[in-house]
Amino acid sequence: MLSVTNLSITYKNTQVLNDFNLSLKHGDILALLGDSGSGKSSALRFIAGLDTVTSGSIELDGKALSSNGSHLIPAESRGVGMVFQDYALFPHMNIEKNISFGLVAQPKVKQRARVTELLALIGLEGIEKKYPHQLSGGEQQRVALARALAPAPNLLLLDEPFSSLDKNHRDQLVLQVRSILKKAQVTSILVTHDETEADSFADVVGIINNKQLTFK
Amino acid sequence: MLKEKCIKSKIWISFIALLVAMPIFVVAFSWAMPEHELWAHFSENILSGLISSTLVLLLGVGVGVMLLGTVLAYLVVMVEFPGGKWLEWALFLPFAIPAYVLAFVYLGVFDYSGYAQVWMREALDLPGFDVRAGSWAIILTFVLVFYPYVYMMTRASFKRQKLNMIEAGRLLGASPLRVFFQVSLPLARPAVAAGVLVTLMETLADFGVVSLFNYDTFTTAIYSAWGDFRSIEVAAQLASLLVLVAFLLIYFEKKSRGQAKYYSSDVTNKKPYQATGLTAWLISLFVFGVFMLSFAMPMLQLVIWGWSSVADEWSAKYFDLIASTSILTISAALITVMLATFLALPSQCKKASIWLKSVIRLATLGYALPGSVMAVGLLYGINQISIINIHFGGESINHIIYGSITLLLFAYVSRFMAIAYSSIEASAQQIKPVFTQSARLLGASRLRLIWQVYLPMMTPGILAGGLLVAVDVMKELPATYLLRPFGWDTLAIQTYELSAEGLYERAAVPALIMVVFGALLMAVFQYLDKKSSRTS
Amino acid sequence: MDMKKIISSTIVFSVLTVSSITAVQATYSSPEVQAVSDETVTVYSSRKEHLIKPLFEAFTKDTGIKVEYLTGKGGALIERLKLEGDNTQADMFMTVDAGNLWYAGSQDLFQSVQTETIKSNIPVHLRDPKGLWTGLSVRARTIVYSTDRVKEQDLSTYANLATDQWKDRLCLRTSKKVYSKSLVASMIYNQGEDKTGDIISGWVNNLSATPNAKDSHVMNSILAGQCDVGIVNTYYFGRLIAKTPDSPLKLFWANQDTTGVHVNVSGAGVTKHASNKEGAVQLLEWLSSAKAQVIYGSLNKEYPANQKVASDDVVSEWGSFKQDEMNLSQAGLLQARAVRLMQIKGYR
């Protein structure tokens, strides 16, 4: 269970988000809808532990991650996964190494099994030895998702992951990813500015408008 | 259509590259005059020892600069810590001090008769030791002298690294150390490799530091063949082996990169890590310590020396020295950078042609040649051109070229092409093919493509390359010493002449001016670098 | 995009700098060009600028002939002279060490100059037999020792430093320096290659530190207690004593009962393709004159080559000694063998 309380974000002396409160149950999928500059990405990066903000606290499964706008637990130990808009796959590693990057603690055999399992989940079997630049955009995005899911995060954040794909691919992939996440039972937050995408992806849709969060 | 265009660019690139590589050819042709007797002596008595001591030195220096240069670059780019902002620039400064000046300061402090050891023996009652025995001290000296190469090139590359690569790594649970070794460092690999390569070539060609430490390297044999046995041929033959080593190093580095691609994004100034508490101060202490040891401490020594002798040493002559040094530095840097940019521009023709890739490679090998071998190679080359010209009924060009500034500039370009090229090429490599393709599809001519797409994206590399060449030219000694026209004494020559006679106090005066001059160049670079990162 | 601005401002900046600097240079150099006469002698020199400039200035004052000079490393300048051939600007080549002078002579870079003035000023053993070059100052290379830790009666010859009593007490300058090479060449001349080889092995065995880059470092090492004896050129000792007169160091004249102290010269010759031969000869004669020889002695604490001139006061204090009278061209001839021997014996 995730709860975000009293989150406020100010940049360059302008407040963009005021007293943002949110709570999600295990396995929920939320979409945050808002224009660019509405602070939705900043909120996401705060939850991830990457940026600090003016005020706000985060609690995940009973553990306090952040309070008062700064972080109690650093990004590397939160167990929060993230999928980036431009995928951020490591270009110097092949797909297998990319996906198993978050699995170092496990023995090699287990790592390999998990990679195979995830590639099956995203429907891209057999591409272990390929490099990111040899894949299409949609394939790279699915690999990025697999990589984020590999360490079995308690929370998955998706920062406009579909925006650089073409329309046909996007609609298909949105549904695919949703079903993958549902299958894996991961609590997720998607940030997007596309209402249709939000509707078809999420269980709950929140809209950020005029510094406030309202639910659809 | 592509073929026709390529003929023209092939001719141009080949012409420039081969001209720059002239000294290499002269050195290679020395094999036409074998000297068995001297080779027998060398290979029987000294060569095996020299090769192993050279390898030890290269290995130590290579690993050392790689670690120090990349760690420092990573800290200043990726981590926020107290003092990080000014240290980021301060760490460039040691580069302005000539290697042999640093070496004589270090020896003055750490040799058996130096302050540090005297204090150690007298105050701490510890036994003294021969700091020049073995190879650790000279390796450390070289590392402290040359780490700015790696630091500078890697820093530029880290700056262009996508922040979200690091964030992705962090969110997958990787510690800062693991992110450094498995994400940032491999992504910066072309830059790290370029910096290490430049360092190794500079180490191979060094004569000043090794002679102060009396450490024998391959270069020792070159000078022995020339100076002791009066055989410029064997010297050239030995030098050609250095070039071969440099060539192999480059080849294997390129080859081992394999399939991986290295593109990167725009400059970001956001730092992913914020160090706090003790960690922050430890990082500050470490970075500041390196700065102290490699710059502040030697500078303090130079200032003390210079202060005591400035009245004896300063004269109107210094205006001449400063003028000559400035003119040579600026013109050599401009010419080298222009040619290097031309050679490094991405082009379809280049991609398809092994010939072009090879001649360009050849043009960058001069860096491995000791300066004076390079200089004599040039003199011989010009002489050969004259002989050929006379053969065809023309006149000797020797009297026009010898003792003219053209020859000296030629030598600088040949010698320092590698630095400019590797820096500029590293930034050219980061241009994704999509840019070219999309610009082409928008109907941009090649000229517009170069001017509006390539050059802006290569600016950081061009600036870094220009600065490195300028500072290197300013410090250059052997080629300048041999080739300069009358009245073109430089600050480096003045420093050398005084220090060679053991007059360190007086030598500190020109050395200090040189450092100030280098720091000024660095300030210009900083200004341009900031500007280009703001606008790109 | 600001690239154009950056490039153009760089170009403007550099053009401005270059032109303003050239202007400064022009204003600074023009008064010097206004010499008393237009006649100029051009010298290539491996003696450092601060040691030759006062001499040339005095010469110009005396004769009105201007001297232009270019300093450089001996071997490199010889190479430049060779390649310049008859295009060379140099009228005179000046260098240190008999080996370098001999080599320049053997490469046909000098022409013979044997005027009465030179013959009467400089003794025959300090000149080339064919008159190609003339020695202008004499430097002795001898033993220096710590007065705290060494008794004078324990010292005798260069060879003696190879015996066991000096184990881990000896400091030497690197074998790569011409002075070491000429010393060993003279030992080969006097005692043969085998004997010299044994002595070098003994030296190497007795070293207490990696050979030093400079004579001044050898003396610093003795002062710091790293070693007790060493071999240096006398003028380096002179410079050290001038700075710190109380140093517990003394010179010992080596080989006084045998061949005498090894001496070397700095000298000059008129180049084969000199365009101003008369001027160059005049300069050479002037350099051998009493007036110039006094300057030589006081500038660098060397011994005058002109025997009619008394040594500098400081230098005289060290006492007189017997010189090795080996003809100095032998040092040149034997130098390559000396280097080979040192390399074989591991003397770095």
Q: Are residues C339 and C229 in the same domain?
A: yes
In chain C, residues with a C-beta closer than 8 Å to the C-beta of B113 are 217, 220-221, 223-224, 226
Model pLDDT for residues B146-160, shown as the tens digit of each residue: 999 899 888 888 887
pLDDT band for position C331 (cuts 50, 70, 90): confident
The answer to whether the CB of A49 falls within 8 A of the CB of A65 is yes
Quote the minimal CA–CA distance from B252 to chain A in Å: 18
Whose CA is closest to C209, among B103, B125, B129? B129
Q: Are residues C333 and C217 in the same domain?
A: yes
Cβ-defined contact of B187 to A147 (cutoff 8 Å):
no
pLDDT for the residue A167 = 80
Q: How many CA atoms lie within 13 A of B459 on its CB side?
A: 28
Residue C30 reports pLDDT greater than 50: no
Model pLDDT for residues C48-100, shown as the tens digit of each residue: 888 999 999 999 999 999 999 999 888 889 988 988 888 889 999 999 998 88
- Nearest-angstrom CA–CA distance, C99 and C339: 12
Task: Tell me what the mean pLDDT of segment B266-291 comes to.
Answer: 87
Cβ-defined contact of A92 to B187 (cutoff 8 Å):
yes
Q: How many CA atoms lie within 13 A of A134 on its CB side?
A: 11
The answer to whether the CB of B492 falls within 8 A of the CB of B477 is yes
Task: Tell me what the mean pLDDT of segment B236-254 comes to.
Answer: 85
Q: Are residues C156 and C214 in the same domain?
A: yes
CATH number for the domain that contains residue C68: 3.40.190.10
Q: Token pair of B289, please?
A: 């310590």
Whose CA is closest to C3, among B462, B468, B329, B152? B462
Cβ-defined contact of B214 to C174 (cutoff 8 Å):
yes
Nearest residue, CB atoms, B168 vs list A74, A88, A104: A88
pLDDT for the residue C32 = 38
Q: Is residue C131 part of a domain?
A: yes
Model pLDDT for residues B102-151, shown as the tens digit of each residue: 998 998 889 898 888 999 998 888 888 898 888 999 999 999 999 998 99
Cβ-defined contact of B133 to C336 (cutoff 8 Å):
no
pLDDT for the residue B136 = 94
Q: Are residues C277 and C220 in the same domain?
A: no
pLDDT for the residue B267 = 60
Q: Token pair of B381, please?
A: 């080359």
Residue B264 reports pLDDT greater than 80: no
3-state helix, strand, coil in chain B (%, to 5): 80, 0, 20
Task: Tell me what the mean pLDDT of segment B349-377 comes to.
Answer: 85
- Nearest-angstrom CA–CA distance, B390 and B395: 5
The contacts of residue B231 (CB under 8 Å, 6+ apart) are B35, B38, B225
Residue C39 reports pLDDT greater than 50: yes
pLDDT for the residue C25 = 43
| B292 at interface of C, judged by CB pairs closer than 8 A | no
- Three-state helix/strand/coil letters over B451-497: HHHHHHHHHHHHHHHHHHHHHHHHHCCHHHHHHCCCCCCCHHHHHHH
Which chain B residues have any C-beta within 8 angstroms of a chain A C-beta?
162, 164-165, 167-176, 178, 182-183, 186-187, 189, 259-263, 272
Give the residue carrying structure tokens 């023209």.
B8
Cβ-defined contact of A80 to B171 (cutoff 8 Å):
yes
Other C-beta atoms closer than 10 Å to the C-beta of B523 total: 12
Quote the minimal CA–CA distance from A55 to chain B in Å: 18
Strand, helix or coil for residue A82: strand
Residue B535 reports pLDDT greater than 70: no
- Nearest-angstrom CA–CA distance, C209 and A172: 77
Q: Are residues C126 and C143 in the same domain?
A: no
Quote the minimal CA–CA distance from C210 to chain B in Å: 6
Q: Are residues C93 and C228 in the same domain?
A: no
- Three-state helix/strand/coil letters over B263-279: CCCCCCCCCCEECCHHH
Higher-pLDDT residue of A172 and B534 is A172
Q: Are residues C146 and C280 in the same domain?
A: no
As a whole-number percent, the residues of chain B with pLDDT over 70 amount to: 96
Whose CA is closest to C300, among C331, C274, C266? C266
Q: Angle B414-B419-B421 (CA atoms, 0-180°, nearest 5)? A: 85
Q: Is residue C307 part of a domain?
A: yes
Determine how β-strand A187-192 pairs with β-strand A155-159.
parallel
Other C-beta atoms closer than 10 Å to the C-beta of B29 total: 16
Q: Is residue C14 part of a domain?
A: no
Strand, helix or coil for residue A110: helix
Whose CA is closest to A69, among A43, A31, A87, A105? A43
Other C-beta atoms closer than 10 Å to the C-beta of B59 total: 13
Residue C293 reports pLDDT greater than 60: yes
Cβ-defined contact of C226 to B112 (cutoff 8 Å):
yes
Q: Are residues C257 and C109 in the same domain?
A: no
pLDDT for the residue B223 = 85
Consecutive H or E run containing B351:
helix B348-352
pLDDT band for position B528 (cuts 50, 70, 90): confident
- Nearest-angstrom CA–CA distance, C158 and C203: 9
pLDDT band for position B303 (cuts 50, 70, 90): very high
pLDDT for the residue B382 = 83
| A91 at interface of B, judged by CB pairs closer than 8 A | yes
pLDDT for the residue B276 = 83
Cβ-defined contact of B167 to A50 (cutoff 8 Å):
yes
Task: Please name the chains neighbouring B, where neighbouring means 3+ C-beta pairs under 8 angstroms.
Answer: A, C
The answer to whether the CB of B410 falls within 8 A of the CB of B329 is no
**Could you tell me which chain C residue has the CA closest to the CA of B480?**
C72
- Nearest-angstrom CA–CA distance, B483 and B416: 16
Task: Tell me what the mean pLDDT of segment C201-223 comes to.
Answer: 95
The answer to whether the CB of B175 falls within 8 A of the CB of B96 is no
- Nearest-angstrom CA–CA distance, B219 and B205: 6
Q: Token pair of C179, please?
A: 């002075």
Provide the residue type at B231 as one letter.
S
Nearest residue, CB atoms, C75 vs list B226, B316, B484: B226
What is each CA distance from A77 to A49, B75, B170, in whole angstroms?
9, 21, 8
Model pLDDT for residues B163-190, shown as the tens digit of each residue: 888 999 999 999 989 999 999 998 888 8
pLDDT for the residue C21 = 45
**Could you tell me which chain A residue has the CA closest to the CA of B163?**
A88
As a whole-number percent, the residues of chain B with pLDDT over 90 amount to: 35
Q: How many CA atoms lie within 13 A of C27 on its CB side?
A: 6
Q: Are residues C257 and C162 in the same domain?
A: yes
Residue range(s) defining the domain that contains residue C94: 36-138+265-312
pLDDT band for position B477 (cuts 50, 70, 90): confident
Q: Are residues C88 and C210 in the same domain?
A: no
Q: Kindly give the residue spans of alpha helices, DSSP state H, lying in A127-194.
A: 137-149, 167-184
Q: Kindly give the residue spans of alpha helices, DSSP state H, lying in chain C.
A: 3-33, 49-63, 74-84, 98-106, 116-121, 178-191, 193-206, 215-224, 234-243, 277-288, 290-300, 313-317, 329-344
pLDDT band for position B257 (cuts 50, 70, 90): low
Report all structural domains of chain B as residue ranges with CATH numbers, in order of start: 35-535 (1.10.3720.10)
pLDDT for the residue B262 = 56
In chain B, residues with a C-beta closer than 8 Å to the C-beta of A50 are 167, 170-171, 272
Q: Are residues C128 and C150 in the same domain?
A: no
pLDDT for the residue B218 = 87
Strand, helix or coil for residue C252: strand
Quote the minimal CA–CA distance from C201 to chain B in Å: 15
Instruction: Taking each helix axis as running N to C, give the angle between helix B405-429 and helix B22-29, from 0 to 180 degrees, rounded to the nearest 10.
Output: 110
pLDDT for the residue C87 = 84
Interchain contact C/B (3 or more Cβ pairs less than 8 Å)? yes
Domains in chain C, number? 2
Exposed / middle / buried, residue A107 (Cβ in 10 Å: 0-12, 13-18, 19+): exposed
Q: Is residue C119 part of a domain?
A: yes
Residue B211 reports pLDDT greater than 50: yes
As a whole-number percent, the residues of chain C with pLDDT over 70 amount to: 89
ipTM score of the complex? 0.90
Mean pLDDT score of chain B, rounded to an integer? Answer: 86
Q: Is residue C19 part of a domain?
A: no
Mean pLDDT lowest among A113-122, B92-101, B388-397, C212-221: B388-397
Nearest residue, CB atoms, B497 vs list C48, C85, C220: C48
Whose CA is closest to B208, among B198, B223, B227? B223
Q: Is residue C31 part of a domain?
A: no
pLDDT for the residue C27 = 40
Q: Is residue C318 part of a domain?
A: no
Model pLDDT for residues B321-352, shown as the tens digit of each residue: 999 999 999 999 999 999 999 999 887 777 77
Question: How long is chain B?
Answer: 536
| pLDDT average per 10 residues of sequence, chain A (216 residues) | 88 83 91 86 90 89 88 89 89 91 91 93 90 89 92 92 81 88 91 91 90 84
- Nearest-angstrom CA–CA distance, B320 and B338: 27
Task: Tell me what the mean pLDDT of segment C167-189 comes to.
Answer: 94
Query: What are the two backbone dihedrals, phi and then psi, of residue C66, each rounded to the nearest 5 degrees?
Result: -80, 145
| B395 at interface of C, judged by CB pairs closer than 8 A | no
Interface with B, mutate which of A76, A129, A157 (most B CBs under 10 A)? A76
Q: How many Cβ contacts (< 8 angstroms) between chains B and C?
A: 172
pLDDT for the residue C3 = 47
Q: Are residues C143 and C228 in the same domain?
A: yes
pLDDT band for position C280 (cuts 50, 70, 90): very high
Q: Is residue C27 part of a domain?
A: no
